[in-house]
Structure 1
Amino acid sequence: MTDPEEGGSRRGAIAGLLIAAVMLAAGLWLAHDLTAASKMQDCLMSGRTNCNVIQPAQ
């Protein structure tokens, strides 16, 4: 009626999808972190001394 190998291919596809999602999330986090570091370096290289990010009071 049903092949026992059918579940294995679905497991592989789900595992691949999860790995791809984790890699995408890590890539987005890394891109955000590198962008913030680049902005800080640009500020410092322009000779400014007040490059810290100001957090608004809540």
Structure 2
Amino acid sequence: MSDSEDGGGRRGALVGLLVAAVMLAVGLWLAHDLTAASKMQDCLMSGRTNCNVIEPAR
């Protein structure tokens, strides 16, 4: 095998790893966003009028 053939395989593997990492990050972001929306919807459906998230003072 020549060096150029070996480099192409590594490049493809790195591109695949990068695509998988981006998909994982987008999936985690989407899951977090959907969970927050679900919690807000549950709060509103229970009849509450103040469903704001209270952040603790630092």
Relative to the length of structure 2, the TM-score reads 0.92
State yes or no: 1:33 paired with 2:33.
Answer: yes
Question: Is the partner of 1:25 in helix, strand or coil?
Answer: helix
User: Which stretches of structure 1, 4 residues or longer, exceed 2 Å deviation after superposition?
Assistant: none
How far residue 49 of structure 1 moved from its aligned partner, in angstroms, is: 1.0
Look up the match of 2:43.
43
Identity %: 81
RMSD: 0.9
Give 5+ residue unaligned stretches, structure 1.
Answer: none
User: Which AA in structure 1 matches 2:14?
Assistant: I
Q: What number of residue pairs does the alignment pair up? A: 57
Match of 1:17 in 2: 17
Contiguous gaps of at least 5 residues in structure 2: none
